Structure 1
Amino acid sequence: MSEVVYPPESVYNNLPKIAVLTQKPPRYMSKFRSTVILEEKANKETLRTMGPAKEEVASPDRYTKKHLKEPKLPSKEFCHSCTVKKPPVPARTDNPPMGIHTKRDFTKTTTLVPMKPQPTCVDSKGHKQRLEHSGLVPKYLKKKDYGEVPEYLIQRNEEKQRAQEDYENFLKDQKEQGAIKLMPDMERQSLLEDLKKNWDKLHHEYQGLSLVTDTLSKKAHKEQLEAAMKQLEDDIDLFEKFKTIYLPNH
């Protein structure tokens, strides 16, 4: 037989264990309990068959006769209209009554025109719809204002033209006063070439930077080069976009 191994002796095994008392919640009691009990008793009273019957018993003279329990049809009510006879059918020799008008005059009705089939279209998936709602019919060509310039575009062009005229008048006044002068084309081209050369130098230096910016100095130098290149790009776009450039005359 195998020996039974008990746990080793310990001070914690000798401590008394505190019994934990669990208190159950109160049992659920429905508020309709008393009503259900009364209804159940009342229903049981009606199903009892022992004892004397509570309904009145027929006397011996009123015994069940033949065909007494068969269903009877309701009695036909007397209809006064059934007794009135309809006028006789007119003979072939009688003349038809003239001058009688009904709600619908069949003499004035015209022949109905057969309905024309509506043009429809069916797509590749089998969906069927009216042709005018499919977008294949150029119905916008029949509009009254088709091909005309909208009013908001006319107003926008007028405002743009007015602003251009105001700017030209301002430049004309400044030239008359001698406050501005026109930059020559050769000077503009030389400045544009110098800006592009400076951008190429900065771009060459930017391409030689280290891929890893692990120090603050490297990060600051990279941001400085990017800002300078962005400023040069804006200046180059300005000189290429505007052929006429005015300079203040100091």
Structure 2
Amino acid sequence: MSIVRITSHNENIYNIELPDEKKISAKKAIIFPLHDVRYQSKFKKSICEAEKELKSNKFMQHKTFGLPEEASNVTADKFLMKDDGIARHYIRPKTSHPKCESRRPPVPKHDELNVTASMMNLSEKNFKVINIKRAKSAVIRNPPGPKCFEQKSPVYIYMPKFGTTPKYLEKRKEQMTEMKEMTQRQKERAEREELMRKIREVTQPERKKLLEGLKHNWHKMQEEYQKMPLLIDSVPKMIRKTKLENNLKSLENDICLLNTNSSRIFVVPN
């Protein structure tokens, strides 16, 4: 392993790479001062000359539009005064006779008024006092009550159609009842057809099984009935006896019906 011993600490990184003279000269050649790069238009001289001409001809602006067709001898001191220009409003010519004949004559003045006979006969009544006396002696008028139109209005009670149902409503009711009956009939017919599809006839082996089951049930009930006491002294015993008798009768009827071969039995599934 090598050990480097540094005795002097005078190193400076800025002195490692010295600048080349070529690079410095290239940089100096690229940089330009601002006053040399400023933009100048090539029309500057022509614009300045045009501005000078306009300033010199400030009071002769008509040159830009050309000379007038008719030269006028009017100078600046002879400017137009009020009402000297062209009259733009219509001046009506004065006539001796008026055109509007519907105007009434003016009202005479107080001095020119001629006193007539009707004005002489006017009485010197004080109408204010008379009106006050009449108002005091007048009867108080009550406000008008609610108006009643019964006398002038038509009496609908005595009309022949009053209180009766109109004919169109009766027809509508009949149509509604007919529609309900028709729908009910269609519903019953559909239910009947559905039942007829589901109905099937009982076969011989099914009939034998039914007979055997009914006879077995009848024997069981018969044994229960025979085991009952002879003396029936309570209500529950009486109810049980009547129930067993009814069940035995229904079983006997079913057995008789199944024993007859001529009868055909049809079954409807639940």
Q: Is the TM-score greater than 0.5?
A: no
The structure whose RCO (Cα within 8 Å, separation 6+) is larger is: 2
Radius of gyration: which is bigger?
2
Larger helix fraction of residues: 2
